[in-house]
Amino acid sequence: MEVRLLQQKDGSYAFTADVSLLTAEKLRKIADAVEKYASYVKFTESQRMLVFGIKPEDAEKFCEEAGVKPAPGAGVKSVKWCPPECVFSLQDSRAMAERLEKLKGIKLPANMKIAVSGCPNSCTETQVRDIGLMGKKDGFTLYIGGCVGKNPRIGRVLKDRLSMDEAEELVMRVIELYREKAEEGERLGKFIERIGWENFLRELGL
């Protein structure tokens, strides 16, 4: 188990754990581990958990007792989804996201964030993620190349009216192309910008 520790300004250490769906039982285990090994935790917008005030020698024990895994490093960092039980949900965002969970941790030229929303309200901010799937009445719309940060970018629509199978297959094609041809440290949006939209579509066979 590799735990990527980051030293904080006060000399303490923190790390990120991969969490998504939490039951009462899981929360109790996390609370017990925090009480024993850490200062506090913070849940992030990417549906991950930051653990603060941890000693390096306690990080693995924390993960084992809390029942969580350390978040992956470079590559697909998160697959964010909204609850499909929501009254506004038009597509099963959880089922779609679970299909993409297998991508977490695969080695890519740069970090990648994926989001799935069940409707155009886009609570998971699909348009500003490297890959975003938005549920609509007629299927999923696939956005690519979005990001936030110093140079925010709205993703472009690659294709719409996708079934769950079609969406998964197209996402895999995008990632394979990106993995093969992007430069080290180049995010998906920058890669598309460098080679051009038309060339990108041609490479995908669209």
Q: Where are the domains of the chain?
A: 6-70, 76-204
CATH architecture, domain defined by 76-204: 2-Layer Sandwich (3.30)
Instruction: For residue 78, name the pLDDT band (cuts at 50, 70, 90).
Output: confident
User: Residue 144 carries which side chain, given as an amino acid letter?
Assistant: I
pLDDT recorded at residue 44: 85
43 vs 135: which has the higher pLDDT = 135
> Does the domain formed by 6-70 have CATH 3.90.1150.10?
no
Q: Token match 């929303």: residue?
A: 117
Instruction: For residue 70, name the pLDDT band (cuts at 50, 70, 90).
Output: confident
83, 87, 89, 95 alpha-carbon torsion, rounded to 10°: 40
pTM: 0.87
Q: Token match 């995008």: residue?
A: 174
Please give the structure tokens belonging to residue 157. 């629509």
Q: Answer whether residue 1 shows pLDDT above 70.
A: no
Mean pLDDT, rounded, of the chain: 92
Check if 6-70 and 76-204 are the same fold: no
Average pLDDT over residues 23-43: 94
Calpha distance 196→206 (Å, rounded): 14
